[in-house]
Amino acid sequence: MAAAPDSLLYLGLDFSTQQLKVVAIDENLSVVYQNSVQFDSKLPEFRTQGGVHIHADRLTVTSPVLMWVKALDELLDEMKRTGFDLSRVRALSGSGQQHGSVFWKTGASQTLKQLNPDQTLNQLLQDSFAVKDSPVWMDSSSRQQCQDLEAAVGGALRLAEITGSRAYERFTGSQISKLRQIRVQDFLDTERISLVSSFAASLFLGGYAAIDSSDGSGMNLLDIGTRNWSEICLEATAPHLDRLLGAPVPSTSVLGPVSSYFVHRYGFSEGCRVVAFTGDNPASLAGMRLHQGDIAVSLGTSDTVFLWIQQPRPALEGHVFCNPVDQEAYMALLCFKNGSLTRERVRNQSAGGSWELFSAALRDTPLGNNGNIGFYFDTMEITPSAVGVHRFDSNNSEVSSLSPEVEVRALVEGQFLSRRLHAERLGYSIIPGTRVLATGGASSNKEILQVLSDVFNAPVYTIDLSNSACLGSAYRALHGLVAESGVSFFDSVKKAPEPQLMATPHPTAKQVYDQMLTRFAQLEERVLQKTSSHQISCG
């Protein structure tokens, strides 16, 4: 739907694992434009797979920071070339994959201030990063640093009480520690450390953007009670870290106007405001307009489950983040590393590489899969900390293979049973009226959503756009302009379309999956014991 020619627009960007996406909404909150740059296919010179490089140790996972910069050049060039009128954008915001870090080199701040609009950002920022390959959320190479951090603050639970999470390898604090220890000179050359979200905001601002408290909660460095850095955590990580990080700000903050580079090169108006960028999961919470009582399930590169909570109850599993749209509230989050990429692998092996055949397998197999249960952790899982593929028949005996159709259902049921089991451990319970809100690439698949509805025994809704992080960023841009005057997020996005009902549970679902969940929990325990005899991991 095209916007009225003079209507003001709000832009949301999402620097996610596999692509950079953009969406524009008008004042009626209708989506008027969307586009994306897929890293692997559009920027093949960076040789990423799924947007990342997995290093030889299989634990270190990075992305080239200049790939993200170049993707922004390409996206804005295309918007301009195809006649998108960027002068109508009144405010923009964005999100980034969480936890990833960007190390700006000494002098980069000066460069950002004087960007020459005749050149691309990629040309201008070639020498602006002390570390060219940014650690991303899939990295699990900082086990030692996690143990050190927990020891320094008085244990895993104490760290969770302060920062919302025990130490996790992908969290930025342990990544910073590791870099300081193994790349001493690069660390000394660093003048500022950003998250992927605040790095992207810095490009638009022409200066370093503050880290917002919601994405900042994914670092093991922020005190989620005071919403400021925790001194004890900073000290345990690196000297003078507060200087390298800058002060955190509320997620609704307006950071300033877009830099003159964007005005001159792309025709943005000088009045266009940049609202603090945040993490992709917090931005999704905004995009789905999640209410207390709802549960959101995001099916992207990673699968995540999140809830709106009023009072933090940090535990040894899961994370509590500051809420991105309400400064008094929090959100709880669980992250599962083996999401879409594992579904793609099983699709390729058991369904001829076709989502159609994958869906047909789900349609053709019964709820409960005749008792067959599978765990598919192609890479070291985050929740729970286990690895490998483990299949069990209806007698709980481990088997080495399942027929292709049964394998597909075992994968999807196993993934959703795990999402439910761990959400319940975090305090979530299914009550009448519970809505499951689904988003992310795989939420376009109706058969997958049917299994989700059956396993949770609750109706599943989606929003029009499968990328709620992008949409949430556009909503946050709009809300940021009025947040200071006390307008709530929900009031500012009242006009947004309601989520669509996509699936309702089968009448037998409750009986089948309540029982199966108990068996699943016992089998997961067995898988965990097997894994821990191979490898003990932090987070």
Q: Which of residues 416-435 bind ligand XUL (CB under 6 A)?
A: none
Binding partner selected for residue 420 from ligand ADP, ligand XUL, none, CB under the kind-specific 5 to 8 Å limit: none
Smallest gap from residue 3 Cβ to ligand ADP (A): 24
Q: Is the CB of 167 or the CB of 346 nearer to ligand ADP?
A: 346
Q: Is residue 473 close enough to count as binding ligand ADP by CB under 6 A?
A: no
- What one-letter code names the amino acid at 126? Q
Q: Is the CB of 287 or the CB of 440 nearer to ligand ADP?
A: 440
Which candidate, 379, 415, 11, 341, places its Cα nearest to that of 200?
11
Buried b or exposed e, range 334-353, using 16+ CB within 10 angstroms: bbbbbbbbbbbebbeebbee
CA distance 114 to 125: 11
Angle between helix 355-364 and 404-425 (nearest 10): 80
- What one-letter code names the amino acid at 201? A
Contact between 62 and 55 (Cβ < 8 Å): yes
What is the residue whose two structure tokens read 């069990």?
392
Span of 294-302, 345-353, 472-480, 518-526 interacting with ligand XUL by CB under 6 A: 294-302
Q: Which of residues 212-241 bind ligand XUL (CB under 6 A)?
A: 218
Smallest gap from residue 171 Cβ to ligand XUL (A): 8
Q: Is residue 383 close enough to count as binding ligand XUL by CB under 6 A?
A: no
Q: Is the CB of 37 or the CB of 402 nearer to ligand ADP?
A: 37
Smallest gap from residue 284 Cβ to ligand ADP (A): 9
Q: Is residue 19 close enough to count as binding ligand ADP by CB under 6 A?
A: yes
CA distance 215 to 278: 5
Span of 16-24, 114-122, 136-144, 407-415 interacting with ligand ADP by CB under 6 A: 16-24
Can you count the helices (H) and strands (E) in the chain? 21, 24
Q: Is residue 381 close enough to count as binding ligand XUL by CB under 6 A?
A: no
Chosen residue from 37, 211, 442, 458 binding ligand ADP by CB under 6 A: 442
Print the binding letters for residues 85-114 with ligand XUL: x by CB under 6 A, - otherwise: ------------xxx---------------
CA distance 335 to 383: 6
Chosen residue from 13, 17, 319, 509 binding ligand ADP by CB under 6 A: 17
Q: Is residue 355 close enough to count as binding ligand ADP by CB under 6 A?
A: yes
Decide: helix, strand or coil at residue 104. Answer: strand
CA distance 415 to 223: 32
Span of 56-64, 236-244, 248-256, 278-286 interacting with ligand XUL by CB under 6 A: 278-286
Contact between 506 and 458 (Cβ < 8 Å): no
Decide: helix, strand or coil at residue 303. Answer: strand
Contact between 69 and 122 (Cβ < 8 Å): yes
Contact between 398 and 435 (Cβ < 8 Å): no
Q: Which of residues 295-324 bind ligand ADP (CB under 6 A)?
A: 300-301
Contact between 312 and 320 (Cβ < 8 Å): yes
Rg of the chain over all Cα atoms, to the nearest angstrom: 22
Smallest gap from residue 302 Cβ to ligand XUL (A): 4
Phi, psi dihedrals of residue 179, rounded to the nearest 5°: -65, -40
Q: Which of residues 319-378 bind ligand XUL (CB under 6 A)?
A: 333, 335
Measured at CB, which residue is nearest to ligand XUL? 98
- Name the DSSP class of 464: S
Q: Is residue 445 close enough to count as binding ligand ADP by CB under 6 A?
A: yes
The token pair at 366 is: 């019964």
Span of 184-192, 400-408, 443-451, 505-513 interacting with ligand ADP by CB under 6 A: 443-451
Q: What angle do CA 37, 41, 45 make, to 5 degrees?
A: 105
Binding partner selected for residue 340 from ligand ADP, ligand XUL, none, CB under the kind-specific 5 to 8 Å limit: ligand ADP
Q: Is the CB of 50 or the CB of 539 nearer to ligand ADP?
A: 50
**H-type helices in 384-463, by residue range?**
404-425, 446-456
Cβ–Cβ contacts within 10 Å for residue 152, how many? 16
Smallest gap from residue 218 Cβ to ligand ADP (A): 15
* H-helix or E-strand spanning residue 241: helix 241-245
Smallest gap from residue 276 Cβ to ligand XUL (A): 17
Span of 12-20, 105-113, 148-156, 514-522 interacting with ligand ADP by CB under 6 A: 12-20
Q: What is the DSSP string of 241-309?
A: HHHHH---B-TT-EEEEPPHHHHHHH---TT-EEE--EEHHHHHHHHTT--TT-EEEEESSSEEEEEEE
Binding partner selected for residue 98 from ligand XUL, ligand ADP, none, CB under the kind-specific 5 to 8 Å limit: ligand XUL
Q: Is residue 440 close enough to count as binding ligand ADP by CB under 6 A?
A: yes
Smallest gap from residue 306 Cβ to ligand ADP (A): 14
Q: Which residues bind ligand ADP (CB under 6 A)?
A: 16-19, 300-301, 340, 343-344, 355, 440-442, 444-445, 448
Q: Which residues bind ligand XUL (CB under 6 A)?
A: 17, 97-99, 137, 170, 218, 279-281, 300-302, 304, 333, 335
